[in-house]
């Protein structure tokens, strides 16, 4: 192949109790990217549509991630990247991760897959470092692996793919305000109470167990965040009302997607997820803040090819 067009999914990170370690890929929301081989070495970002983002390679997460890959690759060709940006930066559903992961996945595919998925995560994390100041992996990992993922360790990098129940759906509301990941990290506390930490890792274990056993009640009981959500909730208008309404409408649980402002709810079945979407709409329609709502299955495969030649 000389050129491919890919879909790179939006992602939900943290998933309530799993700050910086848990993530999931969405099926109905994502960016599209075209990557092609060129005779000139290096990386060029030739076009971005949908959002105003820099074309300069060193200032773009896709470019930085691609350069990290090429630094390790023994190649004589270069690459051009076009991005159709459908995930708004600062939305909390992995905008930078979609670009960074998509770039390295596509280049790796055009090179004949010399790098493993774990190596691609490491390259994509360099794009996240540019975006937020921290090379976190909880968004790029589900984008590359698909489904639910656990970053068991970052040093050394250890990724665990987690079973996803087939009837699990996500509802995501995106208020049209921007919360930068770097800013949302600055307000977090340096230390946490031992009692809160014990409850938190109990929920992480419960959530993973619930996913494997397809125990939806256990999944719901585990979707609680005692450490990060109490601090970040104040950044999102009407967050408490959104969460209360979603759960009353049948959601298993509700939380902040990444660093916000998007808020997610997980539900058993599409019908319930759509009911939750209507309830979230009713909460936000009188706030004066523009918003989008998406209902999506969990994406089992992550990035995929749309066209190739």
- For 78-94, the DSSP string reads EEEEEEE--S-TTSSS-
Q: How far apart are the C-alpha atoms of 149 and 142, rounded to whole Å?
A: 6
Count CA within 13 A, CB hemisphere, residue 192.
Answer: 17
Instruction: Scan for tokens 């208020």, then name that residue.
Output: 175
The active-site residue out of 128, 141, 171, 229 is 128
Question: What is the largest distance, in Å, between two alpha-carbon atoms of the chain?
Answer: 58
Residue in the structure block whose two tokens are 């100041």: 133
User: What residue spans of 59-193 are helical by DSSP H?
Assistant: 61-72, 95-110, 117-132, 140-145, 181-186
Which tokens hold the place of 122?
Answer: 């490491």
Which residues have a Cβ under 8 Å from the Cβ of 74 and sit 6 or more positions away?
none
Q: Is 181 a catalytic residue?
A: yes
Q: Which of 11, 149, 164, 181 is catalytic?
A: 181
Structure tokens at 44: 């060029």
Known catalytic residue: 164?
no
The closest of 300, 298, 303 to 167, measured between CA atoms, is 298
Q: Which residue has the tokens 């087939």?
A: 166
Are the C-beta atoms of 151 and 141 separated by less than 8 Å? Answer: yes
Closest CA to 137 of 116, 149, 59, 72: 149
Please tell me whether residue 25 adopts helix, strand or coil conformation.
strand
Q: How far apart are CA 173 and CA 32, in angstroms?
A: 21
Contact between 94 and 57 (Cβ < 8 Å): no
Partner residues linked to 32 by β-bridges: 7, 84
Residues marked as catalytic: 128, 181
């Amino acid at each position: 192949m000389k050129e491919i067009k890919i879909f790179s999914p939006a992602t939900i990170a943290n998933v309530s109790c799993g700050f910086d370690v848990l993530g999931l890929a969405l099926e109905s929301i994502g960016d599209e990217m075209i990557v092609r081989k060129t005779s000139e070495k290096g990386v060029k970002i030739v076009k971005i549509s949908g959002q105003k983002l820099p074309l300069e390679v060193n200032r773009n997460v896709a470019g930085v991630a691609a350069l990290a890959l090429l630094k390790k690759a023994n190649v004589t060709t270069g690459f051009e990247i076009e991005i159709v940006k459908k995930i708004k930066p600062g939305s909390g559903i992995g905008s930078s991760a979609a670009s960074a992961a998509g770039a390295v996945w596509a280049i790796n595919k055009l090179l004949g897959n010399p790098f493993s998925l774990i190596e691609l995560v490491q390259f994509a994390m360099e794009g996240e470092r540019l975006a937020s100041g921290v090379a976190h992996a909880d968004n790029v990992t589900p984008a590359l692996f698909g489904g639910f993922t656990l970053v068991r360790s970052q040093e050394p990098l250890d990724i665990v793919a987690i079973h996803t129940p087939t009837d699990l759906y996500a509802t995501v509301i995106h208020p049209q305000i921007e919360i930068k990941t770097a800013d949302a990290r600055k307000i977090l506390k340096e230390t946490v109470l031992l009692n809160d930490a014990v409850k938190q890792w109990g929920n992480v274990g419960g959530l993973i167990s619930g996913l494997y056993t397809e125990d939806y009640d256990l999944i719901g009981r585990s979707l609680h965040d005692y450490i990060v959500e109490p601090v970040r909730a104040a950044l999102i208008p009407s967050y408490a009302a959104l969460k209360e309404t979603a759960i009353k409408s049948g959601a298993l649980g509700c939380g902040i997607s990444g660093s916000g402002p998007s808020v997610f709810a997980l539900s058993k079945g599409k019908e319930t997820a759509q009911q939750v979407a209507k309830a979230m709409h009713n909460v936000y329609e009188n706030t004066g803040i523009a918003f989008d709502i998406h209902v999506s299955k969990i994406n089992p495969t992550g990035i995929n090819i749309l066209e190739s030649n």
